[in-house]
């Protein structure tokens, strides 16, 4: 142990970082030897272009906004862009997990690293996150804008905004590390997901309820009271974005003592986040294992009755019925599945009460109620069809059983598609009932046109999804928060296929609504659905050969250790 410690001290942190950078570069170069690696690089070029536009445009815009505010001596309004940066910095990684590849730096614990080196590696990987780079560029633009407007303010603004950037990095790493700890246990994971879903749903109703209140009671009670807004402004000054804004504005007013105090409080927040992050990293460094051990089996006396499996009929084999039953139970008992089942109805309720016109008391969806069912169905399809693009992600080592058992992969994928399609059918019925209750029953013509459009889009998504599940699989780790649920190539394919199919179907439905004739749209979509069905059967008939040729890459990715 003494020899290892002395060797670590002799190597130094710079050499360790250089070795890690060289390792990651070699991994990237070797990945380009495969078709999937080259396609992943192409997908990252498109995704990187989107991030670049977001970073450059935001930097220029925030620099101009900061210059305008400082030039007019309104530095206190800098809290608005700082709150925007703060929210984007913390929330965008959560929403963009399907598009970002976050390497698990805890894998470096397999090597003899010192804790200082391990901590610095974790922070370095956090600093290389796309959101972190974008946030730092935005803050640099604000510092530049303040320096152009008031050169004497540039150095102080740069120091304050650098401290604010460090706080965001520490907060993001701290949140992710503690969420991984909570998500490692099934009970805490379900409770956390429940609160997360309730929070997301509740936030959606803020704007509709405010609009309903102002529409109904605004004329009776006059302008709304600003007491609550004043209290919120007073509270936000003690939060990190407000403290950063106060530090800059107080310095511009030559109130340096209060400005230093605001910066000190900002650094105190950073120290608290650093302490909480250190607790988690120390536990990981000391060998904490967050895996869920299987519960001990309870032996029972006598013979246990085994219930018979489902019989789907229709000429479907027992293998299809067994995989369908397994996947249906997994999907129906999964906590994350509650969100897709509820959100389409929630969106319809939001559209029912939001965007109210003060003069007419209606909104776009109320004026065009015929579009309510297509919009709800498209939203349900958008969420549910993404499951088909990574069918084996949650199987883990169980994928090996498909290769060892006397079952064809076309039967396995058919069963998985049927399970997803059954839930989609239930969701369509739920959406139709919600539309009938909120907007009135959709016309039969619009109902049939929407069903044929969804059938066309669903069959196309299943066809492409079956291929992507074999060519670009990605292991799903429900206990690892902030890591992508699909590869970048798969995410790009999801966006392309869904945008193309649902866009075409929606245009056909809108045209039918505009010309008051739904049968041409229904006929066109039915023809396309028949073509999608033929393509689905064609690909499914050859999927066994694809699964056999891709078995090594599939098992390597899905069965790998977390």
pLDDT attached to residue 481: 47
Positive or negative CA dihedral for 349, 354, 355, 358? positive
Region for 503 from its dihedrals, namely left if φ exceeds 0, alpha if ψ lies in -120 to 50, beta otherwise: alpha
**328: in domain:** yes
- Please check the confidence at residue 271 and state whether its pLDDT lies above 90: yes
Task: Report the distance separating Cα 504 and Cα 495, nearest Å.
Answer: 14
Share of the chain above pLDDT 90, in %: 11
Q: Are residues 267 and 332 in the same domain?
A: no
**227: in domain:** no
Confidence of residue 534 (pLDDT cuts 50, 70, 90): very high
Task: Report the distance separating Cα 540 and Cα 317, nearest Å.
Answer: 15
Question: Number of structural domains, the chain?
Answer: 2
Q: Are residues 163 and 40 in the same domain?
A: yes
**222: in domain:** no
Q: Are residues 241 and 386 in the same domain?
A: no
Confidence of residue 322 (pLDDT cuts 50, 70, 90): confident
Q: Are 124 and 17 in contact (CB under 8 A)?
A: yes
Flag the least confident range among 77-91, 337-351, 430-444: 337-351
- Please check the confidence at residue 335 and state whether its pLDDT lies above 70: no
- Please check the confidence at residue 547 and state whether its pLDDT lies above 60: yes
Task: Report the distance separating Cα 35 and Cα 463, nearest Å.
Answer: 20
Q: Are residues 472 and 367 in the same domain?
A: yes
The distance from CA 316 to its chain's CA centroid, rounded to whole angstroms, is 36
Q: Are residues 343 and 442 in the same domain?
A: yes
Confidence of residue 340 (pLDDT cuts 50, 70, 90): low
**229: in domain:** no
- Please check the confidence at residue 452 and state whether its pLDDT lies above 80: yes
In Å, what is the CA distance from 299 to each residue of 296, 306, 307, 308, 317? 9, 15, 18, 21, 33
pLDDT attached to residue 508: 75
Region for 293 from its dihedrals, namely left if φ exceeds 0, alpha if ψ lies in -120 to 50, beta otherwise: beta
- Please check the confidence at residue 484 and state whether its pLDDT lies above 50: no
H or E element at residue 507? helix 488-515
Q: Are 488 and 44 in contact (CB under 8 A)?
A: yes
Main-chain dihedrals φ then ψ at residue 187, nearest 5 degrees? -65, -50
Q: Are residues 269 and 402 in the same domain?
A: no
In Å, what is the CA distance from 262 to each residue of 237, 243, 281, 359, 479? 9, 5, 29, 46, 37
pLDDT attached to residue 59: 92
| Residue 314, helix vs strand vs coil | coil
Q: Are residues 101 and 246 in the same domain?
A: yes
Task: Report the distance separating Cα 474 and Cα 496, nearest Å.
Answer: 19
pLDDT attached to residue 266: 92
Query: Residues 373-388: pLDDT tens digits?
Result: 888 888 778 777 767 7
Q: Are residues 245 and 381 in the same domain?
A: no
- Please check the confidence at residue 16 and state whether its pLDDT lies above 90: no
Q: Are 213 and 47 in contact (CB under 8 A)?
A: no
Q: Are residues 517 and 392 in the same domain?
A: yes
- Please check the confidence at residue 370 and state whether its pLDDT lies above 70: no
Identify the domain boundary among 258, 285, 312. Answer: 285
pLDDT attached to residue 325: 84
- Please check the confidence at residue 267 and state whether its pLDDT lies above 90: yes
pLDDT attached to residue 162: 93
Query: Residues 174-193: pLDDT tens digits?
Result: 887 787 777 666 666 666 66
User: What average pLDDT does the chain have?
Assistant: 76
Query: Residues 251-266: pLDDT tens digits?
Result: 888 888 888 999 999 9
Task: Report the distance separating Cα 504 and Cα 490, nearest Å.
Answer: 21
Main-chain dihedrals φ then ψ at residue 63, nearest 5 degrees? -65, -45
Q: Are 467 and 494 in contact (CB under 8 A)?
A: no
Q: Are residues 452 and 530 in the same domain?
A: yes
Q: Are residues 327 and 278 in the same domain?
A: no
In Å, what is the CA distance from 473 to each residue of 163, 391, 420? 40, 8, 18
Task: Report the distance separating Cα 378 and Cα 397, nearest Å.
Answer: 34
Nearest partner of 23 among 117, 126, 115, 105, judged by Cα: 105
**411: in domain:** yes
More confident residue, 532 or 504: 532
pLDDT attached to residue 76: 82
**469: in domain:** yes
**292: in domain:** no
Task: Report the distance separating Cα 196 and Cα 211, nearest Å.
Answer: 24
User: Of 6-20, 134-148, 499-513, where does the model show the most confidence?
Assistant: 134-148
Provide the 10 A C-beta neighbour count for residue 476: 17
DSSP 334: -
Task: Report the distance separating Cα 481 and Cα 173, nearest Å.
Answer: 11
Q: Are 97 and 484 in contact (CB under 8 A)?
A: yes
pLDDT attached to residue 63: 92
- Taking the C-alpha atoms of 136, 137, 142 and 145 in order, what is their torsion angle to the nearest 10 degrees? 150
Residue 29 CB-density burial (10 A; 0-12 exposed, 13-18 middle, 19+ buried): exposed
**383: in domain:** yes
Looking at residues 437-444, what average pLDDT do you find?
A: 82
Residue with token string 């999964």: 334
What is the domain range of residue 424?
321-558
Gyration radius from the chain CA atoms: 27
- Please check the confidence at residue 4 and state whether its pLDDT lies above 80: no
More confident residue, 357 or 312: 312
Q: Are residues 7 and 114 in the same domain?
A: yes
């Amino acid at each position: 142990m003494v020899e290892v410690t002395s060797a670590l001290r002799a190597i130094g942190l710079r050499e360790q970082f250089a070795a890690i950078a060289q390792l990651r570069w070699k991994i990237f170069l070797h990945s380009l030897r495969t078709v999937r690696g080259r396609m992943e690089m192409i997908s990252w070029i498109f995704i990187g272009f989107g991030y670049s536009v977001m970073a450059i445009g935001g930097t220029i815009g925030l620099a101009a906004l900061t210059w305008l505010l400082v030039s007019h001596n309104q530095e206190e309004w800098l809290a608005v862009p700082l709150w925007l940066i703060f929210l984007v910095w913390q929330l965008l990684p959560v929403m963009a997990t399907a598009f970002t590849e976050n390497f698990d730096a805890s894998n470096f614990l397999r090597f003899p690293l010192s804790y200082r080196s391990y901590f610095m590696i974790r922070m370095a990987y956090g600093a290389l996150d796309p959101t972190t780079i974008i946030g730092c560029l935005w803050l640099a633009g604000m510092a530049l804008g303040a320096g152009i407007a008031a050169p004497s303010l540039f150095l102080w603004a740069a120091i304050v905004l650098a401290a604010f950037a460090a706080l965001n990095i520490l907060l993001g790493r701290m949140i992710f590390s503690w969420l991984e700890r909570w998500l490692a246990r099934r009970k805490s994971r379900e409770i956390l997901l429940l609160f997360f879903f309730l929070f997301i749903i509740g936030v959606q109703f803020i704007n509709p309820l405010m609009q309903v209140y102002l529409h109904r009671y605004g004329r009776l009670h006059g302008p709304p009271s600003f007491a609550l807004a004043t209290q919120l402004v007073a509270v936000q000054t003690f939060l990190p974005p407000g403290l950063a804004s106060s530090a800059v504005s107080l310095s511009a007013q030559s109130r340096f003592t209060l400005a230093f105090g605001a910066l000190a409080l900002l650094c105190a927040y950073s120290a608290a986040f650093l302490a909480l992050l250190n607790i988690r990293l120390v536990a990981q460094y000391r060998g904490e294992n967050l895996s869920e051990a299987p519960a001990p089996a309870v032996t029972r006396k006598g013979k246990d009755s085994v219930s018979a499996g489902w019989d789907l009929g229709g000429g479907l084999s027992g293998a299809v019925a067994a995989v369908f039953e397994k996947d249906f139970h997994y999907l129906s008992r999964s906590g994350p599945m509650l969100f897709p089942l509820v959100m389409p109805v929630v969106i319809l309720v939001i559209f029912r009460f939001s965007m109210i016109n003060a003069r007419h008391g209606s909104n776009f969806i109320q004026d065009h109620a015929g579009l309510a069912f297509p919009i709800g169905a498209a939203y349900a399809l958008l969420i549910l069809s993404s499951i088909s693009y990574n069918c084996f992600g949650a199987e883990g080592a169980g994928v090996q059983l498909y290769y060892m058992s006397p079952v064809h992969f076309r039967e396995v994928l058919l069963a998985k598609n049927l399970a997803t399609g059954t839930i989609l059918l239930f969701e369509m019925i739920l959406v139709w009932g919600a539309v009938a209750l909120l907007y009135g029953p959709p016309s039969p013509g619009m109902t049939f046109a929407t069903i044929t459009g969804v059938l066309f889009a669903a069959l196309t998504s299943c066809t492409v999804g079956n291929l992507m599940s074999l060519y670009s699989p990605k292991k799903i780790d429900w206990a690892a928060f902030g890591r992508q649920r699909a590869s970048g190539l798969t995410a790009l394919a999801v966006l392309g296929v869904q945008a193309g199919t649902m866009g075409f179907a929606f245009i056909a439905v809108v045209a039918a609504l505009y010309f008051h004739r739904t049968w041409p749209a229904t006929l066109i979509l039915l023809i396309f659905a028949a073509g999608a069905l033929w393509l689905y059967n064609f690909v499914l008939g050859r999927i066994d050969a694809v699964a056999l040729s891709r078995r090594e890459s599939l098992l390597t990715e899905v069965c790998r250790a977390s």
